[in-house]
Amino acid sequence: MTTRYNKWVVIAVTTTLLLTTPLWVLVSFLFEPGNENWLHLVDTLLPEYIINSLWLMFGVTIGSLTLGVSSAWLISQHDFFGKKILHWALLLPLAMPAYIIAYTYTGLLEFEGPVQSTLRAFFDPQTVNAWFPEVRSLQGAIVMLSLVLYPYVYLLARTAFSGNTQQIMNASRTLGAGPYRRFFVIALPMARPAVVAGVTLALMETLADFGTVQYFGVPTFTTGIYRTWTGFGDTTTTAQLALLLLAFVSILIAIELWSRKKAEYFAQGTKSASLPATKLSGHKSGLAFMVCLIPVAFGFLIPATQLLTWSIQNAETGFNSEFLTLIWNSFHLAAITAIVAASIALLLAYVQRIHNSRTTRLSKRIVTLGYAIPGTVIAVAVMIPFAWLDNTLDSWMRNTFNISTGLLLSGTLFALVFAYTFRFLSISLQTVESGLKQIKPSMDDSARTLGANRWTILLKIHLPLLNRSLLVAFLLVFVEVLKELPTTLILRPFNFNTLSVKAYEMASDERLADAGLPALLIVLTGLIPVILLSKAIGKSHV
């Protein structure tokens, strides 16, 4: 029995090592001495990368807190006009990638856009030009990221406000505490761990963002990594810059883990029945409605409408064979990755189920780090060992057989799928684990007494029962791959475009209307996980 278990553990550990090998190769550059490019980077651009990244993090913290906490408090504690729609509509910005919302607002707010053109028609053009803010700026990037990342704070804050802290909230309400006192003195301090966790997740996404800051011309770590790799081809400098970004992410991961533990601590206790939500009427109901509508409108409705307008305007010329090729490239790449990720997740989750040891738990924890690592870092981490293997094999084949093997790994779809799988495996693994927990261990024991081995139990019993969980895992990874931009830009094969890359290229060429159709398709597909999430929380008390 122990031998069989050990075989399963070996499979899990081997899979983890293979998937994370690029990460360890990247970490090895920590011990490499800095070259001239690195020293030049430290003296010139690196301070700007750090300062801009810190300002982005500070601004997104303020923006996501303001939008997320206020809407979560109103939805969880009050009853007002439109609440039944807004409680799930507040999740819609999750379907809107930050780089896409950046394109839409640039088209709306730029000099020739409809907003400035309308203002110049009614007011003095020179006055409008003088005071109208520049959307393509650091401040603009903060606004764009805040509009699409506040749902992380909203979800966790809403759960905290509606959770076990409700018992104390109910007691304070019966003792006469007003809404402001209940919020600032009781609810917010008790929800602080959950709110910090939500902000930390938003900041991880902020550090990982590439499309928005690149398009807005804001130098950050991700744009610096991309430019260093494509401009200088300097492996050492690129790797060390990626490691510095990874250090920032590691700090955020530590904060998130600390917040999660604190949230679990504060969540202890007996949950009491909730008192009815405070009924708002008149101008208070209208104000609450507007506060919750603003992030939905600016984070989804307005940009989605602009994308739809561009798509309709360019449908005749944009919907052609090239666009169909983009759809095929994007969808089949996302499907392959989703199948691979779901299969590996099923294997790792099953191994931990039958052999829940420190080794299997550590393997699972390590392999799920990919989701917290920015796409640019993962792309560089994958490219370095793959390029080395290609060059080594090609050199050996030339010297031995006078044959060039070319690029077998780097610059191929295999490299893309490998990088995607490592980055998004955590999503599949969590979903599959959740499904496995619903299957009683007694079913495994019964099958074992009837002579079934572990593979038979997995294929004949667990797999049919996990069809829903596997489908959800497939869809979630599928959507994430479809939206991913920096990894695709760095690792894609030559002359291979996807919807995200096409939208990025069109926007970079200032052809914003032409970016509408691929961007709209990405957003529509991104609604899938939002719908799944809405259904999941729809069963809870609102």
Residue 171's pLDDT band (cuts 50, 70, 90)? low
Q: Would 303 be classed as within a structural domain?
A: no
Alpha-carbon torsion 44, 253, 72, 212, what sign? positive
What's the structural domain count of the chain? 2
DSSP-assigned letters across all residues of 79-126: E-TTHHHHHHHTTGGGGS-HHHHHHHHHHHHSTTSHHHHHHHHHS-HH
491 residue type, one letter: L
Percent helix, strand, coil in the chain, to 5, is 80, 0, 20
> Are residues 193 and 337 located together in one domain of the fold?
no
The answer to whether residues 59 and 202 belong to one domain is yes
Q: Which residue has the higher pLDDT, 302 or 273?
A: 302
Contacts 24+ apart (CB under 8 A), 317-323: 318/514, 318/516, 318/517, 319/517, 323/517, 323/518
Tally of CB atoms within 10 A around 9: 18
Q: Which pLDDT score is estimated for 172?
A: 65
Q: Decide if pLDDT at 542 tops 50.
A: no
Q: Which domain holds residue 378?
A: 1-26+315-542
* Confidence (pTM): 0.88
How confident is the prediction for the chain on average, in pLDDT?
A: 87
* Same domain, yes or no: 275 and 422: no
Whether the predicted pLDDT of 11 surpasses 90: no
Burial class (CB in 10 A: 0-12, 13-18, 19+), 423: buried
pLDDT (0 to 100) of residue 1: 43
**pLDDT (0 to 100) of residue 315:** 83
**Residue 515: C-alpha distances to residues 413, 498, 507 (Å):** 24, 12, 6
Same domain, 41 and 13: no
87-117 per-position pLDDT tens digit:
999 999 999 999 999 999 999 998 888 999 8
Same domain (yes/no): 194, 85: yes
**How does pLDDT run across 60-87, given as a tens digit for each residue?**
999 999 999 999 999 988 899 999 999 9
| pLDDT at position 168 | 66
Same domain for 64 and 184? yes
Confidence of residue 487 (pLDDT cuts 50, 70, 90): very high
Looking up residue 411, the CATH number of its domain turns out to be: 1.10.3720.10
Q: Is 306 part of a structural domain of the chain?
A: no
Q: Are 257 and 346 part of one and the same domain?
A: no
Residue 430: per-residue pLDDT? 87
Confidence of residue 270 (pLDDT cuts 50, 70, 90): very low
Whether residue 24 is predicted with pLDDT greater than 80 in this model: the reply is yes
310 domain residue, yes or no: no
The listed range with the strongest mean pLDDT (75-79, 176-180, 340-344, 492-496) is 340-344
Residues 246 and 352 in one domain: no
Same structural domain, 1 and 122: no
| Reported confidence tier of residue 46, pLDDT bands at 50, 70, 90 | very high
Q: Is the pLDDT of residue 23 over 70?
A: yes
Of 259, 248, 151, nearest to 196 by C-alpha is 259
**Confidence class of residue 167 from pLDDT cuts 50, 70 and 90?**
low
Please say if the pLDDT value at position 225 is more than 60.
yes
Angstrom distances, CA of residue 446 to CA of 143, 349, 449, 463: 56, 20, 5, 16
Does residue 435 or residue 216 have the better pLDDT? 216
Q: How far apart are CA 231 and CA 224, in angstroms?
A: 10
Does 100 lie in the same domain as 12?
A: no
* Structural domain includes residue 304: no
- The answer to whether residue 472 is domain-embedded is yes
429 and 323, same domain (yes or no):
yes
- Specify whether 100 is located in the same domain as 42: yes
In a domain, 440, yes or no: yes
Q: Which residues share a beta bridge with 79? A: 279
131 occurs within a structural domain = yes
In a domain, 352, yes or no: yes
Contact between 224 and 45 (Cβ < 8 Å): yes
